Structure 1
Amino acid sequence: MNKINEKLRKINLHYTNTVKLLLFIYLFFSGCSSNQKIEQQSQEDLPVDSLYNQALDTVYSGNPKQAASMFEEVERQHPYSNWAVKSQLMAAWAYFEANDYPRALISLERFIELYPAHEDVEYAYYLRALCYYEQIVDVERDAAMTQRSMDAFSELLRRFPNGIYAQDSLLKRDLASSNLAGKEMAVGRFYLRQGYLSAAINRFQKVIDEYQSSNQVPEALYRLIASFSMMNLKRKLIGHLK
């Protein structure tokens, strides 16, 4: 009988501890949920300008990704206000500051599509080009991002030739152009060393035709003339041998 009572006591103790543990877990997560709801409710109770300024402070305090979410919250809470338009562009900027270029580009494309006549649309085009430009790592391995950067800067310059970002855009586009031209020149020189004159000529000609503002053009002209001279000598030599 004592053994049975002892066993029942242990079972009751185990059951009591289990109930206490489950109650603790429930209260803990309920508290977390309540805190989240209170925090969300407190944000929703804030005036729109205060919410916007909080997002700005969050960027300047070194947490741009969180700030981007806060700017998006401004847009969610006040979708038809001027603050929503402003916050959409600021969210893109915050994502850019966080090096989250894909999400920045999504926000920028949406802003440009929805507000093509907005006073800050020039900045949106500029920031979009910078998103591509900052992702250029090694043009020798992947020229696609360099080309996208060039295209984006070219579109900005076409739309805003005298804009405040025109000079910097022109400089960065020319640098990107020189990178692509440099890649073509490297391939052309390789073909030239191997004696593939036609292939080398095609590469040098491409630099001259497509990257006219590049600093690679003078060398491309020199190599092109040298390649044609070598080709003519080769033809003459073959003619003499016949």
Structure 2
Amino acid sequence: MSASKFRTGLVLAAVAISALSTSACLNRGANRPRLAYEERPVEALYNTGYQRVQARRWADAVDYFQEVERQHPYSEWSRRAILMQIYAYYQDNHYQEAIAAADRFIALFPGNPSAPYAFYMKAICNFEQITDVGRDQGYALAALDGLREVARRYPGTPYAIDATVKMDMVNDQLAGKEMAIGRYYQRNNQPLAAINRYKTVIDNPAYQRTSHTPEALYRLVEINLVLGLKEEAMRNGSVLGFNYPGSPWYAEAYALLTEEGATPEVAPTAQRESWLRRLIPG
């Protein structure tokens, strides 16, 4: 998954709705002093914070929204201010602070109509920190848990729809991690350990629709031929040919099996479009 981040329309739209409905904590480092306490009308504090958001002065915006919370902790304005803190922290790439603000909102207002946004933002903050498959996948696992929670709690909502798409992306990432480990074991002459990783990709229903399944089947053909398990290699090759006859991985598997005198019944075909390309052209 690319390290570059994108800002979904859901993030901005939900906050904008919250802000428009108004008609009008955490300190980020020792070098940034907190606003001096001065009792001011809540509308003035909130609107100043919102103006800072519009100016993309995220840290300043958070200061004013925190002041709304501090001076008017049990008001409707405080609820809205927490939502705006989530958004400002997120835009400023302060993911942990955004998650903490989302957790605070969920704890204080679990049944509020804006709770789906808080759950969604927790998942998105982890999603945007996912790194390449060569590193620890803690953020990917946390994102997957959060996205599943959104889809489970709020089915049919735009948040759930977007979460479902992103779950497929995270599963592809996690399957890619299994493949990377499997290749490592295979290169280092640990075939049984490699087989276990490849079978995880094939047997896990969440990974079966990912882009890594054809390669996993091919790798099993490759390893089983090396181990002299021709029947097992043929079985994996048949599964690969039946499901992905146009895949380059099947063409490779077909060639290997043919060299071993175990020509599969299904011949490779011209490469077909992947399910992902059919779903999202281009």
TM over 0.5: yes
Q: Does 1:56 align with 2:50?
A: yes
Whether the aligned pair in 2 keeps the contact of 1:139 and 1:183 (CA below 8 Å) is yes
C-alpha deviation, 1:191, in angstroms: 2.1
Report what 1:200 is aligned to.
Answer: 194
C-alpha deviation, 1:184, in angstroms: 1.1
Please give the per-residue CA displacement for 1:109-135, whole angstroms capped at 9, x wherever unaligned: 111122111101111111111111121
Q: Does 1:233 align with 2:229?
A: yes
Q: Does 1:88 align with 2:73?
A: no
Q: Which has the larger radius of gyration?
A: 1
Report what 2:110 is aligned to.
Answer: 116
How far, CA to CA, are the matches of 2:228 and 2:127 in structure 1? 42
The 5 Å alignment of 1:98-113 reads 98-113=92-107
Structure 2: where are the runs of 5+ without partners? 1-32, 231-282
Q: Which has the higher helix share?
A: 1
C-alpha deviation, 1:97, in angstroms: 1.0
Query: Taking structure 1 as reference, are residues 63 and 74 closer, same or farther at Cα in structure 2, changes over 3 Å only?
Result: same
Q: Does 1:214 align with 2:210?
A: yes
Which of 129, 149, 155 does residue 143 from structure 2 map onto?
149
Report what 2:59 is aligned to.
Answer: 65
Provide the aligned C-alpha RMSD in A: 2.3
Please give the per-residue CA displacement for 1:131-156, whole angstroms capped at 9, x wherever unaligned: 11121233312211111111111111
C-alpha deviation, 1:48, in angstroms: 1.6
How far, CA to CA, are the matches of 1:194 and 1:126 in structure 2? 41
C-alpha deviation, 1:208, in angstroms: 2.5
Whether the aligned pair in 2 keeps the contact of 1:139 and 1:146 (CA below 8 Å) is no
Tell me the amino acid that sits aligned with residue 94 of structure 2. Answer: D
TM-score (norm 2): 0.64
How far, CA to CA, are the matches of 1:155 and 1:202 in structure 2? 29
TM-score (norm 1): 0.73
The one of the two structures with greater contact order (alpha-carbon pairs below 8 A, sep at least 6) is 2
Query: Taking structure 1 as reference, are residues 213 and 152 closer, same or farther at Cα in structure 2, changes over 3 Å only?
Result: farther
C-alpha deviation, 1:225, in angstroms: 4.2
C-alpha deviation, 1:201, in angstroms: 0.9
C-alpha deviation, 1:40, in angstroms: 4.3
Number of aligned residue pairs: give it: 196
